[in-house]
Homo-oligomer: A and B are copies of this chain.
Amino acid sequence: MDEERCCLDVICEDCLTLIEIDEKRRFVVRIRRGAVFGSDKGSIKHDDLIGLKYGSIVRLSTGVKAYVLRPRLVDLMERFFERKTQVIYPKDLGFIILMTGIGPGSKVVELGVGSGFTTAVLAHIVGPTGKVYAYEIRKDMIEIAKRNLEKAGLADRVIIKHKDAREGIDEQMVDAVIADIPEPWSVLDHVHKALRPSGVYLAFIPSTNQVVKLLKALEDRGYKGFTRPRIVEIMLREYQARSDAFRPKTLMIGHTGYIVYMFKVENTT
């Protein structure tokens, strides 16, 4: 664990870099020879960053201090990805990973790619030996998602399909199906067919009405093919980082969505 690697420990040309001036001023840039990073707090030439270790402290043109950091995937999502839709947040994505049981090598189907934020996290977690099969009906979103996955270097683990999952899911024996679509109850049979025995179907759902419709659909079929679901919501509260005034921040996100998940079971009851 001793060598220093480009884009991992040392900032090189083409490396992504998180420039953090303060909590609000966080920027991800791709390093280009000759380019200049600019902000209301000052500027710095990319050339001055090349060869620095990640984690270095630099001075902008104004003398203001900034950190140059190696962006995590969550930094790319927050500061570098294009975003044209509602996306699922890290607080929910982390839980989704654990409840679907996926990890390195998993095969996952994603229904509803949107801007590709969830896709990127799934691709990151399944790793180079796994695969994400992602369905999206909007061509414009597919383009955005592809660009975001390229930015994160995760495109090779993802197969995006321009297809409505209500017409069928091509894959079989996948470990999990994760849906962020308006009608997650409309694909139950296709999901069942796609999942490996005992695989997990998880839907991320914004409104109580949609949760109720999914529950109703499951009840109406006598839970054929799926266990009774678990349903949770996750709230995240940020705190001020001040030792003399430790308290939550005044504003918080009050709602993103409900997470509903269940195991596939035999199609008999």
Question: Which B residues are CB-close (under 8 A) to A207?
Answer: 245-247
> How many chain A residues have a CB neighbour from B under 8 Å?
98
Contact A254 B252 (CB under 8 A): yes
CA distance in complex: A72, B97 (Å): 11
> Of the 9-residue stretches A27-35, A135-143, A192-200, which lies at the interface with chain B?
A192-200
Q: Does A39 count as interface, using CB distance less than 8 angstroms?
A: no
The proximity string for A residues 60-93 relative to B, scoring 1 for CB distances below 8 Å and 0 otherwise, is 0000000101101110000000000000001101
Q: Are A231 and B239 also in contact (CB < 8 A) when A103-B127, A174-B1, A246-B208 are?
A: yes
Q: Does A105 count as interface, using CB distance less than 8 angstroms?
A: yes
Residue among B127, B227, B251 making CB contact with A127, cutoff 8 Å: B127
Distance (whole angstroms) from the CB of A1 to the closest CB of chain B: 4
Contact B209 A2 (CB under 8 A): no
Question: Which B residues are CB-close (under 8 A) to A244?
Answer: 209
Distance (whole angstroms) from the CB of A92 to the closest CB of chain B: 8
CA distance in complex: A234, B248 (Å): 12
- Secondary structure at the A interface, as helix, strand, loop or mixed, is mixed
Name the residue on B nearest A215 (C-beta). B243
Q: Does A204 count as interface, using CB distance less than 8 angstroms?
A: no
Question: Which B residues are CB-close (under 8 A) to A2?
Answer: 172-173
8 Å CB interface, A223-269 against B: 227-256, 258, 263-266, 268-269
Residue among B57, B100, B213, B247 making CB contact with A266, cutoff 8 Å: B57
Query: Which chain A residues have a beta carbon within 8 Å of chain B's beta carbons?
Result: 1-2, 4, 8-10, 20, 23, 53-57, 67, 69-70, 72-74, 90-91, 93-101, 103-105, 107, 121, 124-129, 171-174, 196-200, 206-209, 211-213, 215-216, 218-219, 227-256, 258, 263-266, 268-269
What would 30 A/B residue contacts be, using CB atoms closer than 8 Å? A1-B171, A1-B174, A1-B196, A2-B172, A9-B198, A53-B266, A56-B265, A56-B266, A57-B269, A67-B263, A72-B98, A72-B99, A74-B99, A90-B95, A91-B94, A93-B98, A104-B126, A104-B128, A207-B247, A208-B208, A212-B212, A212-B246, A215-B241, A230-B238, A230-B241, A234-B234, A248-B254, A248-B255, A250-B256, A252-B254
